[in-house]
Every structure is written in structure tokens, then in C-alpha cells.
């Protein structure tokens, strides 16, 4: 086998014609003979580029409405024959099969079609058969054939061929073959995922080619990569490159802020909210969110559900923080926030997030549906003699929205639509509550008349007893403990109200 091979013939079969004429002209200048299929042949002819239609080689027309064009021994034989195998060379001669040294394909846009229509007939017709077969055949025979598996490679292959005067090395062909199998495997994965919408087979298949190299992983000595297209979710308008931890915190901030409809500000630190407030305007929401825990807010991530105005930006700019996320920014506000060169400023876009999430675990992957349940007042089960007041109910709902986004075990204390204390990531619920009460006291909040939310049931009455002594007057929790009556009884005896939701919100 010769490492360097001169390209003498190419088969071109592409869905998108953009950019192909320039590549074809380059191949002509290198004395490469062009073979082509139906629509591609017609397009090249319209551009004044001479090519041989494959029908002249196969003696068969395109049939079945274009479903069968290239699937013929005279095409695939020309791609797959091994130049260093005498028996293959004899077959090529005997059956008068023209040799193909290069294959250029751009597949039917199956993925885009699925995203743009529910018409199953149209979707099925965009499953490429001939193109994917050409890619696989050429990639398999990379020792002798160069494969260009999509329009995204035109520029790269053009530069390569110009520099080498139409020659390719074994390493180059193998690299392109690797990309070809990446494209074909992704294509097949998307087809399976489309069919599996109906049958929901318990098979884990994901294929993400787009990626972003991160500054580092969780720690500087750990490399990190994000797979996916961040530009679909937000535009980064300012600041340094995103890190692994940044992205984890950004997701936490987006997940929580999307729980609220009224003007709200969320401050996140290590995925946990350390400040949340809902007010009539963004500026007041910011001031009260920061007041929750100004110490933890330092170096945090800020997210809000209203455009950032100049008044709010002036206050926000006083704090050192890593990232700010909003749907938009007033021009003056954006210029002010850009005053710190490393500060990351993100502008969110409308985006529908997947309802399922997964992560690697042990020697496999664990997958679950996201915790998308947000309880409403009409779902409350009133279990105490006293019911929450009209002012306490909004606070209970507010606290319960937050508690599901904190690491378990967790307790949230809220008052007047403001987070005033939280305990999270504790090994006991009592410790989480004590931490929440202590935080509220440290930052000057009066817990008298506040409400409490718990991510899971109280196994004993000790938690409501501690809460009652701190002045908590209303409690929201899932219920479900065999000792629920102990907690209910304590509330009844101490003029407290409690509601059950029936929904646990563990987060690990």
C-alpha cells in the first residue's frame, strides 16, 4: 500500500449545493474526473462544470422517486476495491468498474426536518440511504479513498488538496474517515431517537458533536469539555471564558429563576441559592435578594427574570460577582456592567429544555425525568386546625419553589417573598433547620411570622418544635411520615398551621 495517493476520480452526491461548485472547480483544476448523481449532476452542469452522471456507469436510471440512485455494484465496487489486492483488481477489470478515489456527500437533513415538522412522511423521506452507504463505504476503505462526509468539511479538504496538489496521505484519509463515522453514527442515533419517541425502549443513546473546551473542570488540574450548543441558550456578551463550575451554577440559576413569574432576583453560590426575592420592580428585588446573605453572594451568580435597567445595574455593580444572566440589558446598564473585564454577562434566549436528565455513574449512566413539579395552592392538604393566612400562603408557595433547588436535607425560611434563611446539604433535617435559623439571625432577620418549607417529611416533631420556638407560624412539607400526627399535634397546640403537598423534593 502506498501512503501518498493521487486523487484521479471523485463521486459527488450532496443534498445542499452550497459551496460544492467551488470544490468541484478545484478538483477539475487538479485533473480529477467527476462522477455525480441526479440533482447534484444537474446543478454542476448548470454551473458549467463537466461531470459524468452515474446512470452512464450503472446503465440504470434513478428509480423509486429517487430512493435508489447509487446502490449498485459498479458504484460501490469502485469505492471499496482494495488497490493492493490482486483479486480485487481483477474484478474491477472484469466487470469494467470505474475506480473512485474520493467521495463527497452531504446527507439529507433528517435532524432539521424532525425539528421543523410533525409530518412523518416528510421525515421518513429525509432518512438518507444512498448517502450514508457511500460515506461508510469510503470511510471503510480509507487506505485507498478519501471521504468528505458533509459540507462542513469543504473548506478543510480544499486547503489540503491545494497544498498537496491533489495528493493525500494515509493519516489524512484516516482522519477524514474518523469524522465520517462520527457523522454516520450521529445520523443513525437521531433516527433511532425519532422512532423511540413512540416505543420508549429503555436504551440510552445520545450523540453530541458540538463542544466547547472549558478553562478547566471542577478544579484547575481537571480538564473539562462541554458537549452541546450553548449559543442556543444564551449569548455571552462580555467576560472571560466559561468554566465547568460556571456552567453548573448557570444551570442552577436558570432552573430556579424559571420558577417565578413576578420580578425576581436569584443569587447562586455552588449551585445553591443564597439570595432570592420577589418584588414589584427589579431594583428592589435585587436589594432584598442580596440582603438574604451578602457574604455568600460575593463571587456568586446572579439571575433575573426582567431586563436589567440602569438603576438596578448601579446597585448590582457594587458587588463582586462572577456571572449575571438576564433576558436583556438597557444599553447604559450593559456598559456599566462591562466595567469589570472578567465579569461574565449572559443574555438569555427562549429555549425549551429537555424534560429528562442524565449523568455518568459507576460503570454506566443514570437517567431520570427532571423534578418539574411545582405545587399550587389548590393542591394543599390542610392538616392542622389553623389554616395559613392569605399573606402566609404566597410565602409558603415561594419557599416551596426554592426548597426543591437546594441540596438535601434542606429547610427554607421565607417572609414577605424573601428568602431569610436556609440550611442545605445536611445529614439531618434538624441540622438543616438550625442552620437556617442561625443564618436568618446572623443577617438580622426576624423569624417571627416567617414560614418554613422542607424538601421531605419530618420523621419526628422536633423540627416543628424548633421552628415554633423561632417564631415560625406556617409550615409546608410533603408529609408521609408514620409520625406525621406528632408534628400536626405540636402545630395545633402552638397555634401553627401546616399543609402537606404529597410531593417530596430530594436533590442530591
Q: How far apart are CA 418 and CA 402, in angstroms?
A: 10
Which positions ≥6 away from 358 have C-beta within 8 Å? 204, 206, 365, 366, 367, 368
Which residues does residue 423 pair with via DSSP β-bridges, in sequence order?
411
Active-site residue 72, yes or no? no
Q: What is the 3-state secondary structure (H, E, C) of 56-124?
A: HHHCCCCEHHHCECCCCHHHHHHHHCCCCCHHHHHHHHHCCCCCCCEEEEECCCHHHHHHHCCCHHHHH
Which one is catalytic: 8, 74, 143, 270?
A: 270
- The dihedral built from the CA positions of residue 301, 307, 311 and 314, taken in this order, carries a sign that is positive
With beta carbons less than 8 A apart as the criterion, state whether 419 and 276 touch: yes
> Which CA distances in Å does 371 have to 3, 111, 356?
55, 28, 9
Contact criterion met (CB below 8 Å) for 16 and 106: yes
The C-alpha atoms of residue 410 and residue 505 are separated, in whole angstroms, by 10
Choosing from 74, 140, 340, 386, the catalytic residue is 140
Q: What is d(CA 357, CA 442) in angstroms, rounded to the nearest whole number?
A: 37
Backbone angles phi and psi of 29, in degrees to 5: -65, -20
Whole-angstrom distance, CA of residue 324 vs CA of residue 303: 6
Minimal CA–CA distance to 136: which of 180, 190, 72, 70?
A: 180
- For residue 192, give Cα distances in angstroms to 71, 135, 253, 483: 23, 19, 33, 48
DSSP state of 308: B
Q: Is 507 marked active-site?
A: no
Q: Which of 113, 135, 142 is nearest to 126 (CA)?
A: 113
Active-site residue list: 140, 270
Amino acid at each position: 500500500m502506498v501512503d501518498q495517493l493521487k486523487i484521479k476520480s471523485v463521486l459527488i452526491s450532496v443534498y445542499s449545493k452550497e459551496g460544492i461548485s467551488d470544490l468541484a472547480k478545484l478538483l477539475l483544476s487538479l485533473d480529477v474526473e467527476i462522477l455525480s448523481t441526479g440533482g447534484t449532476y444537474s446543478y454542476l452542469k448548470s454551473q458549467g462544470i463537466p461531470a459524468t452522471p452515474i446512470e452512464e456507469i450503472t446503465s440504470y436510471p434513478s428509480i423509486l422517486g429517487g430512493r435508489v440512485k447509487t446502490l449498485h455494484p459498479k458504484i460501490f465496487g469502485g469505492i471499496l476495491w482494495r488497490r493492493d489486492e490482486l483479486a480485487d483488481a481483477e474484478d474491477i477489470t472484469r466487470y469494467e468498474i470505474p475506480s473512485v478515489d474520493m467521495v463527497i456527500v452531504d446527507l439529507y437533513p433528517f435532524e432539521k426536518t424532525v425539528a421543523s415538522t410533525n409530518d412523518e412522511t416528510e421525515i421518513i423521506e429525509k432518512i438518507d440511504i444512498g448517502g450514508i452507504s457511500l460515506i461508510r463505504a469510503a470511510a471503510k476503505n480509507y487506505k485507498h479513498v478519501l471521504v468528505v462526509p458533509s459540507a462542513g468539511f469543504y473548506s478543510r479538504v480544499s486547503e489540503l488538496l491545494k497544498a498537496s496538489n491533489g495528493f493525500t496521505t494515509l493519516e489524512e484519509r484516516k482522519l477524514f474517515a474518523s469524522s465520517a463515522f462520527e457523522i454516520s453514527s450521529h445520523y443513525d442515533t437521531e433516527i433511532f431517537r425519532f422512532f423511540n419517541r413512540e416505543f420508549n425502549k429503555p436504551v440510552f443513546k445520545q450523540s453530541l458533536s458540538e463542544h466547547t473546551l472549558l478553562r478547566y473542570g471542577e478544579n484547575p488540574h481537571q480538564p473539562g469539555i462541554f458537549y452541546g450548543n450553548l449559543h442556543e441558550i444564551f449569548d455571552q456578551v462580555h467576560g472571560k471564558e466559561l468554566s465547568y463550575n460556571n456552567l453548573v451554577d448557570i444551570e442552577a440559576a436558570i432552573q430556579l429563576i424559571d420558577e417565578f413569574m413576578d420580578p425576581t432576583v436569584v443569587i447562586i453560590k455552588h449551585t445553591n441559592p443564597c439570595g432570592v426575592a420577589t418584588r414589584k420592580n427589579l431594583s428592589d428585588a435585587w436589594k432584598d435578594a442580596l440582603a438574604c446573605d451578602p457574604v455568600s453572594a460575593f463571587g456568586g451568580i446572579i439571575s433575573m427574570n426582567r431586563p436589567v435597567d440602569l438603576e438596578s445595574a448601579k446597585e448590582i455593580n457594587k458587588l463582586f460577582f462572577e456571572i449575571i444572566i438576564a433576558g436583556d440589558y438597557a444599553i447604559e446598564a450593559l456598559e456599566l456592567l462591562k466595567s469589570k473585564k472578567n465579569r461574565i454577562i449572559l443574555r438569555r434566549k427562549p429555549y425549551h429544555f429537555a424534560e429528562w436528565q442524565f449523568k455518568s455513574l459507576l460503570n454506566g449512566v443514570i437517567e431520570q425525568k427532571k423534578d418539574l413539579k411545582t405545587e399550587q395552592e389548590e393542591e394543599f392538604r390542610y392538616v392542622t386546625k389553623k389554616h395559613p393566612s392569605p399573606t402566609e400562603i404566597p410565602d409558603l408557595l415561594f419557599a416551596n419553589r426554592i426548597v426543591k433547588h437546594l441540596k438535601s436535607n434542606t429547610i427554607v425560611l421565607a417572609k414577605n417573598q424573601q428568602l431569610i434563611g436556609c440550611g442545605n446539604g445536611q445529614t439531618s433535617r434538624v441540622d438543616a433547620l438550625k442552620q437556617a435559623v442561625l443564618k436568618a439571625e446572623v443577617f438580622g432577620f426576624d423569624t417571627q411570622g416567617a414560614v418554613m418549607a422542607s424538601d421531605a417529611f419530618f420523621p419526628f416533631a422536633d423540627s416543628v418544635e424548633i421552628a415554633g420556638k423561632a417564631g415560625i407560624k406556617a409550615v409546608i412539607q410533603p408529609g408521609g411520615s408514620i409520625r406525621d400526627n406528632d408534628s400536626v399535634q405540636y402545630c395545633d397546640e402552638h397555634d401553627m398551621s401546616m399543609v402537606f403537598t404529597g410531593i417530596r423534593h430530594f436533590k442530591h
